[in-house]
Chain A
Amino acid sequence: MTIGRIFGIAGSAIQAQSMRLNTTASNLANAESVTGPDGKVYRPKQVVFAAQPMGEANDPSATGVKVKEVIEDTTEPRKVHSPGHPYADEQGMVTMPAVNVVEEMVNMISASRAYQNNVEILSTTKSLLEKTLQLGN
């Protein structure tokens, strides 16, 4: 059934985009956290998408998405001058995560739009499939 595979394609995209939303959420949540759970400063995370063939091999008309890996941003953490802070070093500097809040917000909007797009695809496909099942009635 050719049209039924769209559910898998759009579903994989929804899953990938929700993972992207999740990483954005944890980046934003940790934008101000000085130390991470391992005692080191929090590194912003980004997802890497890759195309994934679905169904029969070498059938490029059915290509879903998968999250290939979650990478950690290697940007140097920023230093903030705050001598009164309990985690401040000798110079009175506190290490903060290199989270770019503006970038993360843009990422969030992009991910949520892509998510919505794929939900729309799912509902369109669902109604088409229902109409196909009623053929001849």
Chain B
Amino acid sequence: MDAVSRMLDFHGDALRLRAERQRTLASNIANADTPGYQARDFDFAKALKEATGIPGAAPGTLKATDTRHLGATGGASTVSLAYRTPHQASLDGNTVEVDAERARFAENTVRYEATLRFMNGQIQSLLSAMKGQ
């Protein structure tokens, strides 16, 4: 059963990080007109490597000291966010470029859906293996 759950772990982590990036980009777009707001983002590939690497090694996660401990990934963000460097700085200190953020948001949406499809495919494979038809 462990192998089965681990099979979905990778895409589960990817989905969580995609949702987190979606939220970060939504915050940027929401604050497009806030003076002094600094746009944020994170490196998805790096975050995924950290999340799927050695358990407990990623910063901000709890270490399982017993085999019966469950992994604790609460609602809080565990990725390290960076500040965006604007191509055209604005006078009020806001570094959000709405068009670029919208493009990233659309890209992230497609990739989120792709991850959902991968998961769906794996679930379908598992189901057909269980049914033995």
Contact assessment for A60 and B81 in the assembled complex, using a CB-CB cutoff below 8 Å: yes
Contact assessment for B26 and A49 in the assembled complex, using a CB-CB cutoff below 8 Å: no
Stretch at the interface among A24-32, A69-77, A89-97, A123-131: A123-131
Q: Does B98 contact A (CB under 8 A)?
A: yes
Chain A residues whose CB sits within 8 angstroms of the CB of B84 once the complex forms? none
Contact with A along B11-26 (1 / 0, CB 8 A): 0000110011011101
Q: Closest Cβ of chain A: how far from B125's Cβ, in Å?
A: 12
Number of interface residues of B (CB under 8 A): 34
Q: Does B63 contact A (CB under 8 A)?
A: no
Q: Does B85 contact A (CB under 8 A)?
A: no
Q: Closest Cβ of chain A: how far from B29's Cβ, in Å?
A: 6
* A63–B83 alpha-carbon span in the complex (Å): 14
Contact assessment for B30 and A55 in the assembled complex, using a CB-CB cutoff below 8 Å: no
* A61–B75 alpha-carbon span in the complex (Å): 11
Q: Does B104 contact A (CB under 8 A)?
A: no
Contact with A along B107-121 (1 / 0, CB 8 A): 001001100100110
Contact assessment for B26 and A10 in the assembled complex, using a CB-CB cutoff below 8 Å: yes
Contact assessment for B109 and A61 in the assembled complex, using a CB-CB cutoff below 8 Å: no
- Residue pairs across A and B with Cβ atoms less than 8 A apart, 26 shown, are A2-B19, A2-B20, A3-B22, A9-B26, A10-B26, A49-B35, A50-B34, A51-B37, A55-B75, A56-B75, A61-B20, A61-B24, A61-B77, A61-B81, A62-B27, A63-B27, A64-B31, A65-B31, A65-B33, A114-B33, A121-B105, A124-B105, A131-B113, A132-B15, A135-B120, A136-B123
Taking CB atoms and an 8 Å cut-off, the chain A residues in 1-49 that contact chain B are 1-3, 5-6, 9-10, 12-13, 17, 20, 48-49
Contact assessment for B113 and A121 in the assembled complex, using a CB-CB cutoff below 8 Å: no
Q: B residues engaging A (CB < 8 A)?
A: 15-16, 19-20, 22-24, 26-27, 29-37, 40, 75-77, 79, 81, 98, 102, 105, 109, 112-113, 116, 119-120, 123
Number of interface residues of A (CB under 8 A): 38
Contact assessment for B34 and A65 in the assembled complex, using a CB-CB cutoff below 8 Å: yes
Contact assessment for B26 and A121 in the assembled complex, using a CB-CB cutoff below 8 Å: yes
* A117–B98 alpha-carbon span in the complex (Å): 9
